[in-house]
Amino acid sequence: MKIVTYNVNGLRQRVAQFGSLPKLLNSFDADLICLQETKLRRQELTADLAIADGYESFFSCTRTSDKGRTGYSGVATFCRVKSAISSVEVALPIAAEEGFTGLLACSRKDEAASVAEGLEEFSREELLKVDGEGRCIITDHGHFVLFNLYGPRAGDGDADRILFKLNFFKVLEKRWESLLQQGRRILVVGDLNIAPCAIDRCDAGPDFEKNQFRTWFRSMLVESGGRFFDVFRAKNPNRKDAFTCWPSNTGAEQFNYGTRIDHILSAGPCLHEEHDVEGHNLVTCHVKECDILTEYKRWKPGNTPRWNGGWSTKLEGSDHAPVYTFLVDIPDVSEHSTPPLAARYLPMVHGLQQTLVSVLMRRQAAKQVKSHVVSGSFSDGSTIISGGCSHGVKRSMANSDVPGIDMSCCSSDLDSENPTLNVGGRSEDISEESARNTTIAFHKEHVSSLPNKVTRKKARKSQQLSLRSFFQKSPNLDNDIDNSATDISTSQACVLNSNNPSQEAPVMDDCRCSAMQNETNEISSSQGQEELDCGCSPKKNDTNGTVYSQGQEERDGSCYLEKLKNNDALLEWQRIQQLMQNSIPLCKGHREPCVSRVVKKPGPTFGHRFYVCARAEGPSSNPEANCGYFRWASMKCRAK
């Protein structure tokens, strides 16, 4: 049986890197794959991220939003099985539990949720706090209990996170002790965010091992009288430079300048009948090998060095490397099925698996709703008003956008003999006689030039403006304004003056309406042509030949000034770029341009910029590595 632990630094990113979830999982060729830092919220667990053929998966996601962070941790365990029902495979767990306190196994509203055995001394609030960040999944495989862990990170000056980390491992240790007292075997895998010894850190100083978390870690090991084996060190006791994590912003992977914080621990007797014999334990009897899968590192031999143009090259992969172990002589277990915690039973995943019948029924229902809406709009929102024109105008009053008339207040009842027209909040009865003396004419061109609000919003959202467009004058702007003004004046001549209902509106026949419309279109088109001519070509006069209008001269002057401004802006930007290039210092070790960085750690220098050597971080004995040059970008920061 092969077990792999891997901090993926975002499951969605790793799936995209490999093309699909099955390809990512199959690349390990392992029976149990434990992933940390999935960065997924519960509602983001879709089938493409949680379900893969031949695997059963179990997830734990962040349940809190401390400091505004959501989806920043999370763990997942994938079990490769041949059958999810009535299986005797060890890889398929007999039971599964989210978290390690026992409180997440039940609903949050269930006040009767039982605390895990051995944790009775802690309050319910303390347990929910340490177990609320989605950092543990427990799967019981019969012969052993597997803990998939993502240990919290705590900076030196962050007192709150240091306290949280202490409580996290304190509660966890109590849970382990309880299981060991019951005679269970335990495997702990994952990113614990602890490098136990100086050999596990590239730049370990003399006080490195005095850290309280490293002291606690070593106290758990057999060498210090504890119950756990560090499986990697048990198989590779003296290997140096065996690291699993590298800083992603310094290029430290190139010189293997990192730390070992991804671990596989084991505790408990072996599976043999004579397991009480001295020297018999889970590691000695069943662990064949344990190593680091360095082929998953982001930086690979042959990549362009970062200081020779490689900074622009995006390195795919996590800042961690997987660790694996291979177990032997593990017998089958009794027949069992997939535990209910599996991702296949989650509503957000199970709901995405639709049948063909449900899809067809949903489409049929959508068509029925659409037909009902269309028929309802004609029966409730359409109005026919006849007058002097030979053809009546039929349109939806609710969807029209006519100046001077509030169409939201208009209504009509086709079943009644005298329709009612509500104008400005007043209700007017339109009799047959008054309808003859009243005409509301809608020009086809005018209606088409007034899109509804929804269309205008969609058009506004679909326009992708460039920076250059803000500095260019559209030649069609004046033309559009003139056309719209002409259309409005034309429509005002044909639209009923609703503010004075006692005044009789003029009646126009079809000939006058069409003649006025044609005349208006000719005027607007001629004006638009003049505007276009002024923008790009000289205006031709039948009597005086080619002349320039006053407006054309003004536009030529504005275009010239605009070109001067653009040239000045371009020259200024080039000057700034050259100044910035000249202000970048050269590192003293290699005489190469430095790279700028910004302080992100809270403190008096937060947000300030500084320069460092551009080369990848590495051991000081290597002349090709970072020389350690540092300089503040501002003299004020240097004074501090």
Which residues are part of the catalytic machinery? Answer: 320
Distance CA 246, CA 243 (A): 8
Q: Which stretch of DSSP H or E encloses residue 612?
A: strand 609-612
Q: How far is CA 5 from CA 76, 228, 263, 265, 323, in A?
A: 10, 17, 8, 11, 5
Distance CA 448, CA 468 (A): 30
Q: How far is CA 331 from CA 79, 88, 143, 276, 286, in A?
A: 16, 9, 8, 19, 11
Q: Which stretch of DSSP H or E encloses residue 402?
A: none
Compute the residue count for the chain.
640
Scan for tokens 């434990």, then name that residue. 34
Distance CA 593, CA 585 (A): 6
Q: Which stretch of DSSP H or E encloses residue 422?
A: strand 420-423
Fill in the amino acid letter for 125.
Answer: E
| Token code pair at residue 361 | 């029924």
3-state secondary structure of 93: coil
Q: How far apart are the first and last CA of the chain?
A: 57
| Token code pair at residue 414 | 């086709």
Reported in sequence order, the residue ranges of 283-401 that DSSP labels E, i.e. its strands, are 287-292, 323-327, 382-385, 393-396
Nearest of 48, 36, 34, 45 to residue 80 by alpha carbon: 34
Q: Are the C-beta atoms of 106 and 92 separated by less than 8 Å?
A: no
Phi/psi of residue 531, each to 5°?
-60, -45
